[in-house]
Amino acid sequence: MICLIRPPAVESFRFATTSITLPIGIAYIAAAIEESGRDVFVIDAVGKRPKIRVGYFKGYLVGMDLDEIVDHIPPESKIVGVTVVFTHEWPAVVRLVELIKKAHPDVRVVLGGEHVTAMPEFSLATSLADFVVMGEGEETVIELLDTIENEGDILDVTGIAFRTSGGVHVNPRRARRTDIDSIPRPAWHHFDLKSYHAHRFVGGMYSEKLTVPILATRGCPYQCTYCASPEMWSPRWIPRDPILVVDEIQSYVEDYEAGNFPFQDLTAIIQKDWIVTFCTEIINRGLKITWLLPTGTRSEAIDREVAELLRDSGMVSMAYAPESGSETTRRLIKKRMKTETLFESIRAANASRLNVAIFLVIGFPHDSRESLEENIAFIDHIAREGVKDLSVGFYMALPGTELFHTLFDSGKIRLDRAYFRHILDSSSLLPSQSYTENIGVLDLAMCKLKMFLRFYGPRNRRHNKRFHESSLLSEIVNGLNIKSHQSRLQTALRNGMGSAWITLACSLKAGWIRRSEEHRMFDDWDRIYGFIRKAKVTGDVVQRFPSDSRELHKRNIIHVLRSEQTQSYEVKLQPLNPINCDCVTD
């Protein structure tokens, strides 16, 4: 028996459309294990206890209590897999693994997801887990299970890291899978889809139709310095057959009566031929669905023809993520985007009556007051072009990204309690940390407020034809009452009000652990990660990153990743002494 766990999700007060959503990654893993002929038992902490809220740092956990999760593990389980997508979930997962090992000492715990892929050595050094699966997990998990069951050599399994008697061994990374059409569909029969929908855990704009997430492509070909995608997927975009994607959607319509499909792709629309085929197939089959791209997409492939097909196939919201209105900032973060191409795409989308949203980020390490001010002129421009929604987030220093490595190597990040708290700040009103020189947290908060007021204020509402269709007040009122939202603002306002109240209520009750225990958890984490980082640098596994983040755009991350991910090496952790660090390559 293989037991898979989706741990409690983390939420906090935030003004955004993003929310908890069905865990598509672990659903894919469950399907792969079932296809291999093994029994799977899934514990979905969120789906089973969606009403439970417990204080967690500056936010709260949603789902089953950690002890209850452990109690639900079948006694015949030999392997327990835990998904760790987000960095702010890590402290809770550390505690969960500790409880699992205490109750089931013979069980082997396997971790997977973006966070542990970015920090495999750290994840094993700070938890009691036995294995980490790095990158895509379907093939790796099956080979790992086969090797454990047949008592084979773990060193032969690519794509994993594992605990040794003296430290952590990291095997070479598994090559990206190209035949992704042969991967079995997510095993949604293990999850309560209606429970997620009833509690508005849909990962994007809310719809009254049952929501099921879709993954039509994997990876992204770009190398943005703030994004963990290159570490997780490598800078490569691999699409599925668009006809098969529509087959999957149709099966959910027929089997679950689903009607709304947020795409969890990093970058869904890159090839025009692909998106034309996809939309045309939906239209030809007469599927009356809605679908959207919660994380945004590229603009190059979206012209008037594509925009009309998007509308006719049920696309309800088009989002672009230029990240900054400053050309300089976009160049420094390797955002390969031409401004005029973006505006041409926006015009095409508006002409086809699509609601358009823009995502911006402020607080990059190399941001200046001048570059932040450039966002104002950009906001005026997008408003005149008819953009309906604006999202402004604070920069987060995500592990595995080029900016994270630069900040840590130059001593500007400590992996302490404050660091893990700041990951929850992106959509809040006030960041807890600023990595921008000479610009503090209050300056960033005021900048965000200024950008929102500029976009949604009367000046730009007068010049934006899309705003004339409804008043700001009516949009807010409708967002609190109607069953399906027509704009991201409506969902963001409702999410903000709900999360603010729950955050306040949870702060007045006992939290997930005692506050003193929470503080002690982080006592050695920065020292451990620093030890590992130094060992990898001195062992020539990785190179130190430049201290000036403005130099990163000159580097090709493919060469950096290839150098590290093709190696087999071990980091010695005993005794944990940064002066005597050791990293041995095979």
pLDDT tens string 287-308:
999 998 888 788 888 999 999 9
Q: What is the DSSP letter of 184?
A: P
Q: What pLDDT, on the 0 to 100 scale, is given for residue 496?
A: 74
C-beta neighbour count of 442 within 10 angstroms: 11
Task: Dump pLDDT digits (tens) for 136-174.
Answer: 999 999 999 999 999 999 999 999 999 998 899 999 999
Mean pLDDT value across the chain: 91
Under the banding of pLDDT at 50, 70 and 90, the label for residue 467 is low
- Is residue 464 scored above 50 in pLDDT? yes
pLDDT of res. 319: 86
Has residue 482 got a pLDDT over 80?
no
Q: Domain limits of the chain?
A: 2-170, 199-499, 524-585
Residues 326, 374: contact at Cβ < 8 Å? yes
Judged by DSSP in three states, 320 sits in: strand
8 touches 64 (CB < 8 A):
yes
- Global pTM value: 0.93
User: Span 8-14, mean pLDDT?
Assistant: 88
pLDDT at position 458 is: 78
Topology given in CATH for the domain delimited by 2-170: Rossmann fold (3.40.50)
Dihedral sign (CA 538, 540, 542, 548): positive
CA 256 – CA 212 distance, rounded (Å): 9
pLDDT at 462 over 70: no
Question: What would the mean pLDDT of 299-326 be, rounded to a whole number?
Answer: 92
Most confident of 13-17, 290-294, 331-335, 458-462: 331-335
Sign of CA dihedral 450, 451, 452, 454: positive
pLDDT of residue 15: 66
Are the C-beta atoms of 218 and 245 separated by less than 8 Å? no
Least confident of 26-30, 50-54, 91-95, 197-201: 197-201
Question: Is residue 241 helix, strand or coil?
Answer: coil
Range with the largest mean pLDDT of 100-104, 163-167, 423-427? 100-104
Q: How far apart are CA 11 and CA 1, in angstroms?
A: 31
Q: What percent of the chain has pLDDT over 90?
A: 76
SS3 (DSSP) at 138: helix
Q: Could you report how far apart the first and last alpha carbons of the chain are, in Å? A: 34
Average pLDDT over residues 242-269: 95
Q: Tell me, what's the pLDDT at 251?
A: 98
The 10 Å Cβ neighbour count of residue 283 is 13
Q: Is 133 helix (H, G, I), strand (E, B) or coil?
A: strand
Question: Does a cis peptide bond (omega within 30 degrees of 0) precede residue 235?
Answer: no
C-alpha distances out from residue 578 to 188, 524, 530, 531, Å: 46, 12, 8, 5
Q: What percent of the chain has pLDDT over 70?
A: 92
- Sorting pLDDT into bands at 50, 70 and 90, what band is 476? low
Is residue 4 within 8 Å of residue 29, measured between CB atoms?
yes
pLDDT tens string 69-97: 999 999 999 999 999 999 999 999 999 99
CATH architecture observed for domain 199-499: Alpha-Beta Horseshoe (3.80)
- Residue 239, pLDDT score: 96
Compute the 3-state secondary structure of the chain and give helix, strand, coil in percent, each to the nearest 5: 45, 15, 40
pLDDT value of position 253: 98
For residue 371, pLDDT over 50 is answered with yes
pLDDT, tens digit (0-9, with 9 covering 90-100), for 267-280: 889 999 999 999 99
